[in-house]
Each structure stands twice: as C-alpha cells, then as structure tokens.
Copies of this chain bind each other. A is one copy, B any other.
Amino acid sequence: MAKLIKKRSKKAGLPPGTLVHIGEKRAGEPKITLIDYDEANFQERDVKTVEECFSFREKPTVTWINVEGVHQVEVVEKLGNCFGLHPLVLEDILNTDQRPKMEIYGDYIYIVVKMLYGSDPNRLVEAEQVSLILGSNFVISFQEGKEGDVFNPVRERIRSGKGLIQKMGSDYLAYSLIDTIVDNYFLVLESLGERIELLEEELVAHPTTTTLHGIQKFKNEMIFMRRVVWPLREVISGLGRKESPLIKETTEIYLRDVYDHTVQVMDAVEVYREMLSGMLDIYLSSVSNRLNSVMKVLTIIATIFMPLTFIAGIYGMNFKYMPELEWRWGYPAIWLIVMIIGISMLIYFKKKKWL
C-alpha cells in the first residue's frame, strides 16, 4: 500500500494557495508533450519550455498538454497562470495525496484521478496522481512522473486518426484519459486476484505466518483500492450530471460506460475483501486445528506410557516380600500385560478417531 499521508509538515501554516510540492522528490526536468488536433490536422511535439504552450491557448483545435513531473513548482505555476487556473487548483496539483475529486470552475473543470500500477506480481499496488484540467479547447494532464504512463493507447488513437477521438472535442479526450486509467484498474485487479488465488491454495495446503501476513497485506491493498475507486465514482457521475456546458451530450453516454466500469471495480474490490475475511477465518481455525493435532499426539503418548511406566516402577520396588518377583513367568507376564494395555489404548484411540 502506498503511504497514506505524505509529509506535509513544511506546508502547515502557509496561506492557502501557496504552491509547495508535496510528494516524492524527483530529479530532472518535468517532461512536457503537446498534441494538437482537430478532425483535419494533427501535430505532436516535445515541449522544451513551458512558454511554447501558451500560443495554443486560443487555438480552436483541441490541445492536449501532458506534464510528467510536478516537482518543479514554477512549471506548474506558469502553465496555470497562462491558462487562468485558480491558485487553489495549482496547490492541489502539486499536492500528490489528494483524493479523487472533481471541481467545476467557470470555464474549466479540475479532475483528480489516481493511476494504479500493480501488474508486477512481486510488487504492491502503487498509485500516481493524475490531475486533469478540461477546458473548452484543451486538456492539461499532470502526472507525478513515475516510470511509464497508460496514456500511450490514447496517443496512438489520435495519431492514427481512427476512432471517434479526432472528431470529438476536449471532453471526449478527457473521457478517454479517464477511461484508460479505469481500464488499467481491471489489469491491477486481475493481477491481485491471481495472487489472492495463489494465497488461497497456499492457505489450504500449508498455512504459515507468511500466509497470514499475505492475507493482511492484500486486505490493506483492497482498502487502498477502495479509497481510490470509491470517490472516482462520484467524480464520474458528477461529470455526467450536465452541470457544466463543457461536457457535451454526446459524451455523456461514454461517461455512463466508465461509470459502470468503476462500479464493477468497486464490486470486485468488495468481493475480494469478503473473500480475504473468509481466508482469515480459515487461517485462524487451521492454527487451532494444528494445536489440536499436536495435543492429540502428546495425549496418546502420555496415556499409553504413563500407566506402563507405573507398572514397571511397581516391580522396581525393593520390598522384601513381593511374591510376583519370585514367579517363574512373572517377567513375561508383565510384558504381556504391557502389550495388552498398550494395544487396547491404541484401539480406544482408533475408535475415538484420534489416530
């Protein structure tokens, strides 16, 4: 599970709207790419300085500016000022432990979504905050800049000119980005699901303390996923509620589709949580069962040998007058008695199903 509350001590007490980066420090320049298109035209470029983007502000074509890395406050600030973003929005973009949310400002919508990484079977789920600014003719996406993003398929679609994307506006682009992120949740869930199934097999075969920690770990992952997906539902249903003219009616049907996907993800998360609770019960009871079987071994051994040792002890006594000791067949008789006692004990345990 990613860290819950990031270090924000340095921010406490600063006035609202102060731009401070909260999150993992990262070296290097943020990488900015710009794609500009309409139904007829298409251009793509790597942006060296933020100022290159400013001219696209007023172009009627759809402009998508993707910023990877929000650790350089000035970059975010300059872009924000050019596109008229509120200081509180800029502050939230820099603060990477936001909850997914959606805020409608006069001429743009600010959306926070979490991109998840977790298909690598050896690692836990990690989240990267993605902030989207949806304007009438532009989308700006801010990523934290962790390795890779999931937006490549969207880029491909714009480049190829196939599909609806080039024919539709900036709202459809924003939808496409969110849809890609949500689609990726399914991959993460698929991977988690497979790992939980492996854990379940381990639980049945030979449960150890590691199994318990595994169960607990995946439970925490599910809590984490829920925190990411639950508010996203509201975000998407909020976007579809036609509160802003920025979302066109043709896009609403697509938003309903992503909404269904988030519901499906939530559903699966809840089911996994309940399965993990069930696994915990099985683990705990398997511990008790093992204790039971250990105790049975001890009891069988003690129940057989204690009486026998007592008998041997009796005939080890040094009384002067112990007639049995003189008997010719005393010693074999003792062996016989010992055998009879031992075997009848074993039969008794067999009948009690302890063996």
Q: Which residues of A contact B (CB under 8 A)?
A: 4-5, 7-9, 11-17, 86, 88, 92, 97-99, 101, 103, 150, 152-153, 157, 162-165, 176, 179-180, 183-184, 186-187, 189-190, 193, 204, 206, 209, 212-213, 216, 219-220, 223-224, 227, 253-254, 256-257, 260, 263-264, 267-268, 271-272, 274-275, 278, 280-292, 294-299, 301-303, 305-310, 312-322, 324-331, 334, 338, 353-354
Contacts and interface: CB of A to CB of B under 8 A. Distances in A.
Nearest to A284: B285
Contact of A309 (B162, B313, B321): B313
14 contacts: A4-B272, A13-B152, A16-B254, A86-B253, A204-B213, A209-B285, A216-B282, A220-B274, A220-B275, A291-B291, A294-B295, A308-B310, A316-B317, A319-B330
A298 B302 contact: yes
B301 A312 contact: no
Given A295-B294, A295-B295, A285 B15 contact: no
Contacts of A326: 320
Contacts of A227: 267, 271
A180 B310 contact: no
Contacts of A213: 204, 282
Q: Taking chain A's interface residues, is the majority helix, strand, or loop, or is none over half, making it mixed?
A: helix
A209 B291 contact: no
A351 B227 CA distance: 44
Contacts of A322: 318, 331
